[in-house]
Structure 1
Amino acid sequence: MRTRALPHGLELTELGLGAAQLGNLHRVTTDDETAQTVDAAWEGGIRYFDTAPHYGVGLSERRLGEQLRSRPRDEYVVSTKVGRLLVPSPATAHERDPHGFDVPADPTRVWDFSRDGVLRSVEASLERTGLDRLDILYLHDPDDHFDQASTEGIGALIELREQGVVGAVGAGMNHAAPLAELIRRADVDVVMCAGRFTLLDHSALEALLPLALERGVGIVAAGVYNSGLLSTPRPPADALFDYAPAPAALMQRAHAIADVCEQHGVTLPEAAVAYVLRHPAVVSVVLGARGRSQVEQNLARAQTPVPDALWHELAEGGLIPKENA
C-alpha cells in the first residue's frame, strides 16, 4: 500500500485503521473479532492505526496495543489522543458508558487540556498500550476548551515532540475552522478532520486544506462517509448524516452522486474514499472496522480505481467543487 509523508520522517499508509470499534463502539467487539481486525489490516498493508482513551474508556488502546506489540515496531504508526483523562468511578461501575461504547461506566472521562493533564494522559496511554512510544498525538475534540488546548495543551505536545517522546502532534476535530486556527497559532504537523471533507461536505476546502498545504501540515481524513449516508451504494431511507437522520436535500444529493458513480462503474463509498485521497494535503483516510470482512471491504474500496471522468461529471453537475475535480 502506498504511503504519504509527514514532517519529521513519519509516513502514513493512505488507508488507516480507526480503532473505535475495538472499544466496543455501539456493541461488544469480541477478542476474536479484535484479533481478526488487526490481522486483516496488517495483511492488507495497513500500517497506520488510530485510537484514543475515549474509545471504550481505554479498552481500544489496550486491545490495539496487545495486537501490535508482537509486530516490528518500526513498521507501523500509532496515533492516540489527549484531552480526556480517565478517572476511576466505582460509584458508576454498575452502569453502562453513556457515550456510545458498550463498557462499564468506570472509569469516567474528565476534560483536561492543561499541561499536566496532557502529560498524565500520554503516560496513561503508554501504559495501556504497552508500546515503547506513540507516533502521533492529537488534541481530541477541544471545541469547548479551545483557548487552553490551543495554547497550553498544544504547547505540551510540542514539548514532547521536541524531547523525542512523540513524532508528530496536532488535533482531531469535527469542525474545520478551529483546526485551521490551530495551524495558524501553533507549529503542528498533522490534523485529523472528521466529516468536513467529504463528497457531501466541502467546508474544509474553504480554509483548512489550502492553509495545510501552505504550511506543510498533513490532513488525516476521518468520517468520510458522514456517519452513514455515503457508506452504501444507495443510501437507505433511514440513512444518517453526522449521527442524525439525513436531511432530504442531502439525501437527494447523495442519490444524484450515486447515479453518476453507477454510470462509471464505481460505488458511492468507493468514490467517497477516492475523492478525499485526491487532495494533495490529505496523507491518509482512516476507516473504522470490526472484523476481517469489514477491513477487507475497506481495503477493496480504497484500492478501486476511479476514472477522472467521474469527477469531471460531478463537477459539471454542481455536485462537487470544480477546484477539487
Structure 2
Amino acid sequence: MLRTSRPFGRGGLTVGPIGYGAAALGNLYAARPEDVWPRIVPAAWQAGIRYFDTAPHYGVGLSEERLGAGLRDLPRDEYVLSTKVGRVIEPNPDYRPGETDIANLFDVPATRRRRRDYSRDGVLRSVEDSLARLGVDRIDVLFVHDPDEFEREALEGAFPALEELRSQGVIRSYGAGMNQTGMLTRFIRETDLDIVMCANRYTLLDPAAEHKLLPAAQERGVSVAVAAVFASGILATERPRAGATFEYSAAPPELVARVERIADVAERHGTTVPELAVQFPLRHPAVSTVVLGADAPEQIERNAALADAPVPEAVWEELREEGLLG
C-alpha cells in the first residue's frame, strides 16, 4: 500500500517507506552476538529496504564498519546511504582494559572516543573517516548530527562545508538530524539543506513536527525522514508491555493508559499499534521515509512489513474523534 518510492532531497534520490537505522550494529544498549549482526543487513535487503542510515556516534564507529561489511557485496547504485557529521572519532588515550562506552549507550570497548566538531575541517575529516569505515567510494546524504548546543558552529562551519561537497558532486544531499523541531525548522529556513531527519517528534504520541517543521519543509521543498516512531518502545508492541519505555525512560501510567485506548481502536479495525505508529508519519506529504532500527533479522523483517498492512481511514477518524492523536 505504501511501497511507492518517494523523492529524497533534490538530488534525484528516492527511498521506500522504510529505511534501516543502524544504531544496533554499533551495539546500542547491548552487544549484538557475532552470529546475529551479520545477518541484519541481508535481511533488510531481502525485505526490500534500500535506505540505510548510520553515524560515527553509533558504537564509536562500529556501526559504520558493520554496515559497510553488510553492504559490501550489494550493488552500490541500488541503495541510498546516509551518515552524519559533528562527532570526529579518535583513539582514546585514557582507555583502560575492560572499559566500555555504555555510558553513551553503546556496549563497545572504549578504545575510541568522540570529539564534537562542527567546523569545516571537522566535517571533511569526519567524511573521510566515514568513507574508510564504511568501505564505500561515496556517501549519498550527510546529516549534521545533534548540533543542539552548537547551532552557530553548525551554521558557520558544517552547513557551508556540506554545501561545498554537494556543489562538487561529492554528495547528493545534506541536512540535519535531531530530536527536536525548533532548530530543524530554523535550519530549513536559514540554509539550503534538502533533507532533515526528525526523531521522536512526529509520532502517534507527539505530533509536534506538524506545527512548524513539516509546513516549513513543504514550503522549501525539503524531504523529511522520521525516526523513533515507536517512541523508544511503548508503540513497538500491540499492547504496552510491563516496563514499557517512552523516550528512553519508564512510561508514565497515564501514557500507558492512552496507548491501551489506541490499541482498543486499532483492534476494532483489524490493525495494530505498530502498524499505526509507522503509517501515521507516512501519511504526511512532506515525509519521505520512516527509519526503523532492528536488533535481529527477524525484527527487521517484521518492521519492513508494517508499512504494507492495510489501515482503514476509519481508524484515523476514530482516533481523532477520541482525542488520541497528539
Query: TM class, shorter-chain normalised?
Result: over 0.9
Asked if 1:105 corresponds to 2:110, the answer is yes
Unaligned segments of structure 1, at least 5 residues: none
1-structure distance, mates of 2:86, 2:64 = 15
3-state DSSP of counterpart to 1:285: strand
Match of 1:148 in 2: 153
Asked if 1:3 corresponds to 2:5, the answer is yes
For 2:24, give the aligned amino acid.
Answer: Q
Equivalenced residues, count: 321
Asked if 1:245 corresponds to 2:250, the answer is yes
- Cα displacement string for residues 105-163 of structure 1 (whole angstroms, at most 9, x for unaligned residues): 12101110011101100000001111010000000111011111123211111111111
Match of 2:24 in 1: 21
Asked if 1:205 corresponds to 2:210, the answer is yes
Q: Residues 86 and 109 of structure 1 are in contact (CA less than 8 Å); yes or no, is this contact kept in structure 2? A: yes
Match of 1:267 in 2: 272
- Cα displacement string for residues 243-298 of structure 1 (whole angstroms, at most 9, x for unaligned residues): 01112332222111111111111111111001111111100101001221101110
Aligned equivalent of 1:36, options 33, 39, 62: 39
Unaligned segments of structure 2, at least 5 residues: none
1:30, CA displacement in angstroms?
A: 2.9
3-state DSSP of counterpart to 1:67: helix
- Cα displacement string for residues 191-232 of structure 1 (whole angstroms, at most 9, x for unaligned residues): 000010000001111100111011110000000011011111
3-state DSSP of counterpart to 1:63: helix
3-state DSSP of counterpart to 2:285: coil
3-state DSSP of counterpart to 1:269: helix
For 1:127, give the aligned amino acid.
Answer: A
Match of 1:133 in 2: 138
3-state DSSP of counterpart to 1:79: strand
2-structure distance, mates of 1:255, 1:177 = 30
Match of 1:114 in 2: 119
Aligned equivalent of 1:78, options 78, 81, 90: 81
Match of 1:219 in 2: 224
Bigger Cα displacement from structure 2, 14-23 vs 151-160: 151-160
2-structure distance, mates of 1:33, 1:281 = 35
1:50, CA displacement in angstroms?
A: 0.4
Q: Residues 17 and 289 of structure 1 are in contact (CA less than 8 Å); yes or no, is this contact kept in structure 2? A: yes
Asked if 1:190 corresponds to 2:195, the answer is yes
- Cα displacement string for residues 86-119 of structure 1 (whole angstroms, at most 9, x for unaligned residues): 1111322421002111101121011100111011
- Cα displacement string for residues 40-75 of structure 1 (whole angstroms, at most 9, x for unaligned residues): 110111000000001111111011111112111100
For 1:257, give the aligned amino acid.
Answer: I
1-structure distance, mates of 2:254, 2:86 = 35
3-state DSSP of counterpart to 1:2: coil
1-structure distance, mates of 2:236, 2:15 = 23
For 1:260, give the aligned amino acid.
Answer: V
1-structure distance, mates of 2:96, 2:57 = 16
Q: Residues 93 and 104 of structure 1 are in contact (CA less than 8 Å); yes or no, is this contact kept in structure 2? A: no
Match of 1:60 in 2: 63
Aligned equivalent of 1:96, options 95, 100, 108: 100
For 2:230, give the aligned amino acid.
Answer: Y
2-structure distance, mates of 1:151, 1:4 = 31
What TM-score comes out, normalization by structure 2 length? 0.96
3-state DSSP of counterpart to 2:140: strand
1:302, CA displacement in angstroms?
A: 2.1
Q: Residues 14 and 285 of structure 1 are in contact (CA less than 8 Å); yes or no, is this contact kept in structure 2? A: yes
When the two chains are superposed, the root-mean-square deviation of aligned CA atoms in Å is 1.1
3-state DSSP of counterpart to 1:302: coil
1-structure distance, mates of 2:106, 2:175 = 25
Q: Residues 194 and 221 of structure 1 are in contact (CA less than 8 Å); yes or no, is this contact kept in structure 2? A: yes
Match of 1:256 in 2: 261
1-structure distance, mates of 2:151, 2:290 = 25
2-structure distance, mates of 1:81, 1:74 = 20
For 2:137, give the aligned amino acid.
Answer: D
What TM-score comes out, normalization by structure 1 length? 0.96
2-structure distance, mates of 1:93, 1:209 = 46
1-structure distance, mates of 2:207, 2:181 = 10
1-structure distance, mates of 2:149, 2:24 = 25
For 1:84, give the aligned amino acid.
Answer: R
Higher helix share: 1
